[in-house]
Structures are given as structure tokens and as C-alpha cells.
Amino acid sequence: MMYSVSVDAKLAGKVTKVDKGLKKCSGFTVRVRASSFGDSEKTAHVGVLGASGYTGAEIVRLLAKHPHFAITVMTADRKAGQPIGSVFPHLITQELPDMVAIKDADFSDVDAVFCCLPHGTTQEIIKGLPKRLKIVDLSADFRLKNIAEYEEWYGQPHKAPELQEEAVYGLTEISREEVENARLVANPGCYPTSIQLPLIPLIKAGLIELRNIIIDAKSGVSGAGRGAKEANLYTEIAEGIHSYGITKHRHVPEIEQGLAGVANSKVTISFTPHLMPMSRGMQSTIYVEMPTGVTTDDLHHHLISAYENEDFVKVLAKGVVPHTRHVRGSNYCLMNVFEDRIPGRAIIISVIDNLVKGASGQALQNLNLMMGFPENAGLGDLPLFP
């Protein structure tokens, strides 16, 4: 069994002993993982199901610089027979196999797949894949553990309940160990990622009340997918902002499930999403109540402590406002805490790129863990600015 070690660049050279688990190296803690794939220099072959959508294309973009993954299969039923560069010209330089219909896909030389298909379509497809494959599903089909809740919110029966039970919810920074040992990971939604990352550590520490959690979230239009929809036309969306899914957005049960899991109690939120006239980016503004004696400084300090060793979650200095432009094209989540003018309340702002940390970037982060590769492999791109 081979082992891989993740260590901050400034600590390079200080690792004196590598062993399984967490080890102290010259006063620093590093995380060491066993690689299920053996030789850390070896290449793993991956498939991208649904490569003609935004999340599929983003997976392909991220894998272009990955040191350990090579794409050997790409599917897109409506674009079968076409090269990826004809569908997404920004990927024209990539030497990749042509896309095929999923029924014609050959998985004999594939080690893992990213499933980037719409919800409702992945259950039977994943059920039919070889059991040896590692799978990260970017749809909502395996996120909710309660089958009845899935059927209530998505309006259809679940066709693979046995896989629903097996699937691990892949909010990477929160469920790292479970993800490492998983065969099937349900990649979180974009809104749930931006909301749970700041809230889960605070709820776990008892620093915020479980009542009256109010979330105002805004997303770029790519969050609605690539399908042609009248509401997403330029003339419909430009120079304006509108709310949607009021009181019934499908990410609500996913968020409440995650928060309740650490609270050991039911958590109910008020959540209103908005569509913004930008291609990508997401901001969640979260209003919370604090117990008597707790201050916004306590919240800020705790989030810094919770994420101080994380590559992709950054708590900004006091007073600095997170901006979606500062995470564009990257796997980062930036967050901060502000004091509300109403005593006892705090305002938390969290920003991500909905296509990267909110989808494909986190999916790659998860598969890196599942395959025993460095968690940040292929994810080193800095945000694009301006």
C-alpha cells in the first residue's frame, strides 16, 4: 500500500516521518493518506458522463492540468460522435476521445467516473455501471438520505434506494474521512455548499441558535444549466435580478439535512435564492442569532480555527467583504462574519464559484480523496480577475 502526504508548501522539507494517519512533523501536523490506487505516479482513467453540460465541461477543463487523471470516456447522447472542441471551443486544444452515447460507452479501461447528468436520470445509469468504479455524482439523486423526502421534493420515485443508502454526502471539508472510503459520493449542490461550510462549524460549536436562520442567496445563470430556457435568455435576465423557488427550492431539504446532522436536532431555515445577470458566481448572505454572551468575534475566531489548515476555504480578515469576482474560476470559498445592527444577530457572507467549488471542483476534490491522490491535485488555479 502506498501513502501520499499533503503538506503546505512553506512546510516542505520538514516532514521527518510518513506513516498512516496524522503525524507531527517538526511541530506541524500533516495529513497522510493511503492510496487505493497504488503508485502515486500512476495515471487513473476517468469517464465524464454528460460532458456537454456546464459541469461536465468544467470537469474536462480542470482535468487538463491534473497529474494523475486521464479522460478515456466522455458521453453526451445528443452530441454523440462530436469532439469536445466542437461543443466547447475553449477546450479545442485538448486531445480527448470523441463523445459517445452512454449506451455505447466502454468502461473496461475506466477506474472512476464523474456523473454530470440531470437529476432523475442518474439512478438507473449508476446502478448499471460496473461495481468496481469509483463514482462522484453531481446530480441531486443521492444527496437526500430520506427516500420519502426525495420523492416529495423531486416529484418522482427513487429507482435505486440501495445506492441511496450507500452514497456518502461529499461536503469535502466536513466529511473528508467518509469520502476517502466511499465508492459512491453524492456531490453537494452549489447553494448547500456555500451555506453549510460556514454554518456547520458554528452549529457544532453551539455558537449560533438553531432558530430563525435566514438565507438570501444569489447565483449566476450557469447554475440553471445549459438547456435552452426562455427565462435564461439574455434579454430576459440582463439588467435585472429575480427570486425563484421561493419556499420550495429543492436545495432546502439538503441544507436542513446537513445542519440537522451536526445539531442532532431538526433545523428549519428560511431560504430565498435569486438569479443574477452574471455567468458564474454565488453569494450566500446568512442571518443568524447568537446565544447570550456570544459575539461576532467568537464566530469569526471559530471559523478561522475550523478552516486554518484548509486549502480552499478561507476566512477573511475582520471587516473584509467577500466578493464573487475573487473566487471566479477557482475552487475557493471565501467567508466572513459581520455584526448586525440588531443586538444578538450576526451576518455571515460566503462566496463560491457555483461551477467549481459548487460543482465540478468539489467533485474533483472528492475523487482525489477517493483515489488516494493529493486532495488539491488539479485544483491549483487562482481565481480569474478582473
Residues tagged active-site: 190
Pairing of strands 2-6, 28-35: antiparallel
Q: Which residue spans within the chain are E strands per DSSP?
A: 2-6, 21-25, 28-35, 44-49, 69-75, 112-115, 134-137, 168-169, 184-186, 213-219, 242-243, 269-275, 282-289, 313-315, 333-339, 345-352
The 3-state DSSP class for residue 357 equals helix
Please tell me the total number of residues recorded for the chain in this structure. 386
The C-alpha atoms of residue 191 and residue 324 are separated, in whole angstroms, by: 14
Distance CA 229, CA 332 (A): 29
Please name the residue that has the C-alpha cell 443508502: 165
| Cell matching residue 27 | 511541530
- Report the relative pairing of strands 282-289 and 69-75 from DSSP bridges: unpaired
